[in-house]
Chains A and B, each alone.
Chain A
């Protein structure tokens, strides 16, 4: 074999391009004659637009045209959509307000889109934008969820009284109540999951182009799922039918969920290209990214856990308010519902769970999926609850978890999910050993001697990835199926082109997908090209999010490779004059079983195309196959992370001293890339726990609108990670892959906060645990520490 197959620590093929500055990002796309778009954004969180005066702006040098919401309406361009219908517990559909790409009469958050100026240069567009006069009638904003649902609060959308989008529930309330009635102990906790700004390295961008000869549009854009973008822009927004709309997502510099969604700017650029008869380019600056990229998280939760006297969990009740922002972004409705509550069982055998979630409108940026999307929020709830319950019952947190682990698979939870495989004890055992947990007491004493507080925190997370069986998500309200497609094109010389609907924006698909091909066809990854991100090349795909590219995208590729192998065996049979049933394929060679007759893959490829050894009635020439894969279940990566912190109570500074991560991702294609995903995920999770938090002031102005105030994790905020793995193969896809992209971001926040609260001796601190917050918390009496 070539040594580049499954399990090889191959260096990433795409990195040379990226680190030498040869990547082709959307901002690198320059179309002949392009003009530049700049968006006028609302300075107010909530206001009626009385009038917009454009005359002075139109007179400015270089202005090509200026459009407002009226122009979109006149062209019958539809509003942005939310693609997942959620029903309230009373059966009523969610109350979704209209979401025009450019405001129509009202603005609902600072950064909302009021007008677009298109000019010869970006600077000219900005100059003109400053001359637009908008007469706003400022309305009182609702900034916090508590404000939004207060009686008499201003209403954002008339269709949603009290600013409530839905009151949703999951689970059996009566069963949960019954469990609490028999409980020996009840643990209660109020939990805040802080709002995050995604901060992909590359800001969003779009270039819209229209060819008046063909009547076709092209949109280059920073998308994690160009086919979904085309589907929405075509079928719902009405830009053009799909065969007249090509969406290209070239190299994309990070997404973390924020580039799944179909936003106003991209929509307007592609529409405006036809209006002005020129390509139109827009590139967000960082301030725009802070203001208008869909934010993440932002939950307020009250949770209660019922336990018997031995510490066995009997039931869980969770009541969550989820901030959805000012409009429903593309998949926002499902994140705090079906991507959240079904994970509340964690790794534990909990007989009864009941969750209620209220989706709330506020005058803030829309909130949608962000790395983990609902699962970090669920994990934070269950892992904080479990840790606090163990503390209250004076049990070791690791032993407490073991007492409650799911051990028999498949395991049906009371909240939809059926866990297919796992070994949670194995991960815990390995993590405890790697973390040297048995000596934590000595380390705490050593820290105390220096006047420092040491704490240890666990996070035994589980997530649901590989989303998802299409029929399953369809029954839960999804507007799309969640399969993936792949096409394998073998060239006559035996090199291979793979077309996939998965999109790579940092994940390393060009390497890992090639490794699967290398494994299966016995050729080097250097002879494999991965093509993605262009709706004219790849027929259809659902894109990359939810750690699904390996489990779903590569499964589709595996299925297509099965077909290639079958066809290639037929070709080899003709060449070697044997029945295809007698042909074996191994290490890139086709041989006739029991003989020394063989032919290599490249020669079979050539024979398939020259078609000299068979006629067209016997076999079609060529070697190209495609497949769609629809998963049979979610996948369930799980693991145990242990974080050890040392707090300086004099300053409130928390230093992460040790990080142990033991993850079960099923089968692993490239351990180096998987470890990189774990490292990056933990960094994002630590960011949420210690540093990051979007803050709006009482007027709805985003205080943290730049890196001066929004703290991103830096290298010196992070420890050197100790990463290990356990493996139970995933039975739900042919490759046994579970997915690894979000695990770190899901696992990390509760591990950090459990460690900090262990060090402080009380639970009265919320994320982000900044030095200020920790210092304040350290001032308070620490009842647990005092008792010890």
Chain B
């Protein structure tokens, strides 16, 4: 680790001010940032720690779930109200990392980092979440812009997420045998207005929606509806654990399993 200046602001306004400087990094749970710094792969001049802000909490009301950006994965996974409203989202949080990561890592940190193998981005996209920041509100599809890339501007801080409650949903994750990150994660959400399907782990530009699946499932919500739809391997990641063809195949398998398990 290289030396850096540590800040723990007490207000969002202060945090925004500090985070705006050139080489500053915002730290939520630190579950990605700290290991990267320890390996000397990141060398921020300043760390702006959000743990002094009051940004955690889960609220279910009016067909919407609001989750504060600093809410830990373990708290999302263990929230009884959320289990009733969107069980798939709570279950997803329980599949992230290991107990240490789940007790430190936050939804805001995970989504802002937009790791292409992270779980939460698929939920945001499939559920059509609204992402609220220190300066605006964004639809999830406008937020995720590429590998580790988001629409966040320097100093802009995610404060909360608003998820519409679907009729049913499910998240299926096929894990990398080594890292246990998603090789393919498919989040399927059925709303009265239609079905949304988001895929994480597979895309070379990060999380994406599977529109062919969405269209078919919006007509008939059954595994047979997407059985014959071929996912192209173009634009999918390839590595020693899974090549693009295997990922393409798994997207279909995981989507069907998600449809089957949706509740």
Contact residues of A between 732 and 780, Cβ < 8 Å to B: 770-772, 775-776
B1 touches A651 (CB 8 A): no
Of B105-113, B162-170, B238-246, the one contacting chain A is: B238-246
B174 touches A651 (CB 8 A): yes
Most buried by B among A711, A712, A772: A772
Contact residues of B between 2 and 43, Cβ < 8 Å to A: 39-40
Of A126, A650, A652, A708, which contacts B178 at CB under 8 A? A708
Cβ contacts under 8 Å, A287 to chain B: 39
Against B, the Cβ 8 Å flags (1 = close, 0 = not) of A775-787 are 1100000000000
Instruction: Summarize A's interface: helix, strand, loop or mixed.
Output: loop
* Chain A residue total in the interface (Cβ 8 A): 22
Do A770 and B250 contact each other (CB < 8 Å), given the known contacts A123-B1, A708-B178? no
B246 touches A775 (CB 8 A): yes
A711 touches B178 (CB 8 A): yes
Of A123, A650, A703, A712, which contacts B240 at CB under 8 A? A703
Against A, the Cβ 8 Å flags (1 = close, 0 = not) of B175-192 are 011110100000000000
B179 touches A691 (CB 8 A): no
B249 at interface, CB cutoff 8 A:
yes
Do A772 and B246 contact each other (CB < 8 Å), given the known contacts A123-B1, A651-B253? yes
Against A, the Cβ 8 Å flags (1 = close, 0 = not) of B232-263 are 00000000111100100110010000000000
B241 touches A772 (CB 8 A): yes
C-alpha spacing A122/B263, complex, angstroms? 53
Determine the interface band of chain B, counting residues with CB < 8 A from chain A: 10 to 19
Against A, the Cβ 8 Å flags (1 = close, 0 = not) of B55-85 are 0000000000000000000000000000000
Of A123, A703, A770, which contacts B177 at CB under 8 A? A770
Cβ contacts under 8 Å, B243 to chain A: 772
Do A126 and B177 contact each other (CB < 8 Å), given the known contacts A709-B241, A772-B242? no
Against B, the Cβ 8 Å flags (1 = close, 0 = not) of A115-139 are 0000000010010000000000000
**CB-nearest residue of chain B to A713:** B177
C-alpha spacing A709/B246, complex, angstroms? 17
CB distance from B32 to the nearest CB of A (A): 12
C-alpha spacing A709/B176, complex, angstroms? 8
A126 touches B40 (CB 8 A): yes
CB distance from B87 to the nearest CB of A (A): 22
**CB-nearest residue of chain B to A690:** B177
C-alpha spacing A204/B178, complex, angstroms? 22
A710 at interface, CB cutoff 8 A:
yes
Cβ contacts under 8 Å, A707 to chain B: 178-179
Of A651, A691, A703, A710, which contacts B250 at CB under 8 A? A651
C-alpha spacing A134/B178, complex, angstroms? 34
C-alpha spacing A691/B40, complex, angstroms? 28
CB distance from A433 to the nearest CB of B (A): 33
Of A123, A650, A708, which contacts B179 at CB under 8 A? A708
Of A126, A650, A651, A770, which contacts B241 at CB under 8 A? A770
CB distance from A203 to the nearest CB of B (A): 15
28 A-B pairs within 8 Å (CB atoms) are namely A123-B1, A126-B40, A287-B39, A651-B174, A651-B250, A652-B246, A690-B177, A691-B177, A695-B240, A703-B240, A708-B176, A708-B178, A708-B179, A708-B181, A709-B178, A709-B240, A711-B177, A711-B178, A712-B178, A770-B241, A771-B174, A771-B177, A772-B241, A772-B242, A772-B243, A772-B246, A775-B246, A775-B249
Q: Which residues of B contact A (CB under 8 A)?
A: 1, 39-40, 174, 176-179, 181, 240-243, 246, 249-250, 253
**4 nearest CB pairs, A to B:** A711-B178, A711-B177, A708-B179, A650-B253
Q: Which residues of A contact B (CB under 8 A)?
A: 123, 126, 287, 650-652, 690-691, 695, 703-704, 707-712, 770-772, 775-776
